Amino acid sequence: MGLLSSGGWQKSGVYHLSADAVPADLFFYQGPGSDTLYVGSVAAQDTAVQLRLPLVLRKNLLGHYVCPKCHKSDKTVTIVNSEAPLVRRTITGTDTTYSSIIGRKLYEGCISGGARAHCQRDNIRF
């Protein structure tokens, strides 16, 4: 369990982020098997950083999660944990790609990693 950034991570207590790593996104690492959750970011002009743990998630009027990084909901998908995850196959010319994102849902295995949603723009979980 600890905080994670491009500057590394520390288990507990005081977290040191080197100045040349800023701006940086901050993630919360809960341990093996868990998702690495986005919890905030540090900008160059910040003298203090406030993190809310656990992160309070917001939804828009349509029930889609609002990304805590880009503050938009158009690229967020809700993570669904099911025993038989669905996969979407897309064939473009001769290339076949598989995606577990179908509509506004991301299908994963039956074990939850703790994340509730995913932002396709920022490629983060929260």
Q: How far is the CB of 27 from Zn ion (least distance, A)?
A: 14
Nearest distance in Å: CB 122, Zn ion: 4
Fill in the per-residue mask, 3 to 42: x = in contact with Zn ion (CB under 5 A), - = not in contact: ----------------------------------------
79 binds Zn ion (CB under 5 A): no
Task: Yes or no: say if 98 and 92 are a contact pair by the CB < 8 Å rule.
Answer: no
**Nearest to Zn ion of 5, 118 (CB atom):** 118
Q: Are 42 and 51 in contact (CB under 8 A)?
A: no
Angstrom distance (rounded) from CA 106 to CA 102: 6
Contact 52, 26 (CB under 8 A): no
Burial status of residue 41 (CB atoms within 10 A of its CB: 0-12, 13-18, 19 or more): middle
Interaction pattern, residues 53-72, with Zn ion; x per rule: CB under 5 A: --------------x-xx--
Where on the chain is the footprint of Zn ion (CB under 5 A)? 67, 69-70, 119, 121-122
